[in-house]
Amino acid sequence: MLAILAPGQGAQTPGFLAPWLADEAVRSQLQTLSEVAGLDLAQAGTEADAETIRQTDIAQPVLVAAGIVAAQALLADGPVPDVVAGHSVGEITAAAVTGVLTPTEAMAFVATRGRGMAEAAAVRPTSMMAVVGGAPEDVLAAIDAAGLTAANNNGPGQIVAAGTVEQLAVLAANPPARARVIQLSVAGAFHTVHMQPAVATLNELAATLSPSDPGTLLLSNADGAAVGSGAAFLARLVSQVGNPVRWDLCLDALRSLGVTGILELPPSGTLTGIAKRNLKGVALFNLNTPDQLDDARTFAAAHAGTAA
């Protein structure tokens, strides 16, 4: 059983999109998506420095664009995945991969999302920190004691705290026992109450879209559940901006489904790294460059339509 996963913000690195631009069809598609986003995606994904590509209104559209072009190249004549999921902004990539949104609708949504979240984050200095290790109950207690939100629960061993920089400083000074606190490369307290202004903006855009039901099993960050209605998934995309990502529950769903192989779309490595720790025995493939496509198709064919 094949799962295709799309990473979230923080996975981006300078120049990660460059190898894909050797393909004329990809360049043409990126140009179309750039016009929708109001952002030169090719430039941002090839020439922008680390600080620039870290910016929310740039990182999010570039990540979704990369996932869309890579997925289309991978799946055009290849096996159909059994299940698709995305982490945070990767859910928009997943919506495009499964047909809930068209690529241009997905780009309009993520561009609006990125701008709205950047504006919300500018109200006061906020950010996120990963808490690695420690007993889950101790980690959650320390996050709560600092006044923070457990914005991403990525499974045993990694919970992401989000809130004001002052609250994060309290957590850093008082880390949970046997845990490390790591500052993340994001510019806001995503998936918390600080993002509510962006939710209102996205609600207005969502009302103008006509989502389709997913053609493949599609998991939600809210609770790990498979969502069969495109309208329901779009509503979840909107609300999820201000609510925690329960990737731990998505992992539970992948395990319960009997997934045997996971392929992560570019820029890959984050979600397969989490899967390596939590889904023992599941084969993993990191797709980052187009010269891997033949191997990626072989990997996908070996797992699609099978069960553990």
Residues annotated as part of the active site: 88, 191
Q: How many CA atoms lie within 13 A of 216 on its CB side?
A: 22
- Token pair recorded at residue 194: 């600080």
Residues 125, 142: Cα–Cα separation, whole Å: 21
CB 158 within 8 A of CB 231: no
Helix (H, G, I), strand (E, B) or coil at 260: coil
- Phi/psi for 62 (5° steps) reads -65, -40
Torsion angle, alpha carbons of 63, 182, 245, 41, to 10: -10
CB 92 within 8 A of CB 106: yes
Residues in the chain: 308
CB 244 within 8 A of CB 250: no
Of 67, 102, 84, give the one whose Cα is nearest residue 218. Answer: 84
CB 246 within 8 A of CB 222: yes
- Token pair recorded at residue 47: 């020439």
Q: SS in 3 state form for 144-195? A: HHCCCEEEEECCCCEEEEEEEHHHHHHHHHCCCCCEEEEECCCCCCCCCHHH
**Residues paired with 283 in a beta bridge:** 261
Of 120, 230, 131, give the one whose Cα is nearest residue 180. Answer: 131
